[in-house]
Amino acid sequence: MASSRKSQQSPNPGKRIAVALSGGLDSVVLLDTVCKAQAKSGNKSQSTNQVYVFHVHHGLQKAADEWLIFCEKLAKQYKVHFDFRLLHLGADEARGNIEARARAGRYEALADLCEEYGIEDLLLAHHQNDQAETVLLQLLRGSGVAGLSGMPQARGLSSNQRLTLWRPLLNQSRQELEAYAKEHRLKWIEDPSNQDRKYRRNAIRKDIIPKLEKIQPEALANMARSAELLGEAQTLLNRLAQQDGKSILIEDQLKVSPLLALAKDDLPAANNVLRYWLHIQNLAMPSQERLQSWWRDLAQVKTDSKLEWLHDEKKIYLWRGALQVGNAEEGRWILKTLPANSKQLGLPADWVKDAQVNNQITLRERLGSEKIQIKPKTPRKTLKNLYQEADVPPWERQAPLLYIGEELIAVAGIGLSYPHLKSTGRRVLPEWVQNPVK
């Protein structure tokens, strides 16, 4: 992703909120209502919110550049801050479910923008029709309560714990939004891909929903109400999973032995605990077939055996009697400069600088015989023993080792070579930083 033209930030105090603007009817109406509400509040108080407008350029349509220009001009018209992200879908992503890939990338891009500008509230323009389409799509997929509860009016985002997504138009129909737009003479753009029935959502929008409304005029409102009720039911199921999983859900792990014991007595309860664990790991719900295959695997596997599942583009491992989601193995070593008054041990900065100049800092793959001393008055130990003592799972032992010359200096998840550390003078601290999960 890339970012470009940024509007000048206002020095005025006030909370910052952001509106995701695609240029379509719903987001244009949302922006108009937000700005008019801000104008009214500004007449009464000097501490009004600062409004930011964020646009995601997908590059999937020929007119995408024109949409970007339209959104930027609209932001200038309302005199609000504007920024955007270019979203590049790779060849592998384009071959898959393009709708899902684009949606995931869009949320990631918006979260990045909110992080950059210190925004904790992001407003999305999903409306009642969108909710009905989502419920019908999930119903066709055979989803459970979680899927059928649709989109919540507010939720947090896993990639940014401080960010809350809001959907203030969720109880408004598209017909009501169109009436508002015409009354206030708003202009918007139409995405031609919304007419393409090869996408299931469009087929539902064009073919199914109009027929449902003929049968039942309140169909959209009724489906939205059902989604809200199912959302409440899912909240109760999550609470039940927490109670049933007290001896099963340990931090980020899922203990297999008590899970199997629960499944033997109450399989629906065990399924609920397993689904809840997947939910808090930000993973998709499994199909019924996949869920059944997992139970077969768990019933047959031995205590000390290894098990690996690929699910939702992540790996789930069985290790030491517990299921865990493998962390990203890709990352990089960084050299962090310690403050002058810090008491933390670090490597002499001049020594590290000389090593950099002479190209003596290298990254090497683990061979199996390496040793390092990480504590005072202790012998050098093999990495195998140190990994075992630290309970580092096998899939987290793949980070490259940091060498200066022929000296092993740092091991991710283990520590630094103690004999090389100093407590005074200019110091740097090697840190292994994992790449963010996409």
What are the angstrom distances between the C-alpha of 186 and each of 33, 57, 93? 11, 22, 35
- Could you tell me how many residues make up the chain? 438
Closest listed residue to residue 32, CA positions, set 53, 16, 2: 53
What are the backbone dihedrals phi and psi of residue 84, each rounded to the nearest 5 degrees, phi first? -150, 170
Please list the alpha-helical segments (H only) found in 248-404: 256-265, 267-280, 288-300, 349-357, 383-389
What are the angstrom distances between the C-alpha of 172 and each of 136, 167, 209, 254? 18, 10, 16, 41
Given this model, what pLDDT does residue 9 score? 45
Given this model, what pLDDT does residue 298 score? 93
From the number of C-beta atoms within 10 Å of its C-beta (0-12, 13-18, 19+), residue 348 rates as: middle
Given this model, what pLDDT does residue 91 score? 45
Which helix (H) or strand (E) covers residue 334, if one does? strand 331-337
Residue at token pair 């012998």: 379
425 sits in the region (left: phi over 0; alpha: psi -120 to 50; else beta) called: left
Closest listed residue to residue 411, CA positions, set 376, 361, 371: 371
Given this model, what pLDDT does residue 390 score? 85
Given this model, what pLDDT does residue 329 score? 56
Q: HEC profile for 396-410? A: HCCCCEEEECCEEEE
Report the DSSP beta bridge partners of residue 362: 403
Cβ proximity of 274 and 298 under 8 Å: no
**Alpha-carbon span 86 to 142, nearest angstrom:** 34
> What sign for the dihedral angle of Cα 279, 285, 286, 288?
positive
Cβ proximity of 97 and 198 under 8 Å: no
- The residues, any chain, with a CB within 8 Å of residue 40's CB and separated by 6 or more, are none
| Helix-, strand-, coil-residue percentages of the chain, each rounded to 5 | 45, 20, 35
43 DSSP 8-state letter:
T
Which helix (H) or strand (E) covers residue 240, if one does? helix 219-244
Which token pair is 128? 């009642």
Furthest CA-CA distance within the chain: 81
The tens place of each residue's pLDDT in the chain, 438 residues long, gives 445 555 444 434 468 999 999 999 999 999 999 999 988 876 655 556 799 999 998 766 677 889 999 999 999 999 999 999 987 655 444 444 566 667 778 888 999 999 999 999 999 999 999 999 999 999 988 888 988 999 999 988 766 678 999 999 999 999 999 999 999 999 999 877 777 787 788 899 889 999 999 999 999 999 999 999 999 999 999 999 999 999 999 988 999 999 999 999 999 999 999 999 999 988 888 888 899 999 999 999 876 677 889 888 788 999 888 999 886 556 788 888 988 888 889 999 999 999 988 889 998 888 878 999 999 989 999 998 998 888 888 777 878 899 999 999 999 889 999 999 998 889 999 988 876 544
What are the angstrom distances between the C-alpha of 75 and each of 21, 23, 70, 193, 347? 9, 11, 9, 24, 49
- Cα torsion 151, 156, 157, 159 to 10°: value is -170
Closest listed residue to residue 189, CA positions, set 86, 73, 67, 78: 67
Given this model, what pLDDT does residue 62 score? 73
From the number of C-beta atoms within 10 Å of its C-beta (0-12, 13-18, 19+), residue 230 rates as: buried
**Alpha-carbon span 287 to 284, nearest angstrom:** 9
Which one-letter amino acid corresponds to residue 300? Q
What is the value of pTM for the model shown?
A: 0.70
**Alpha-carbon span 53 to 71, nearest angstrom:** 8
Give the N- to C-terminal CA distance of the chain in Å, as an integer: 12
What are the angstrom distances between the C-alpha of 419 and each of 335, 355, 387? 18, 17, 20
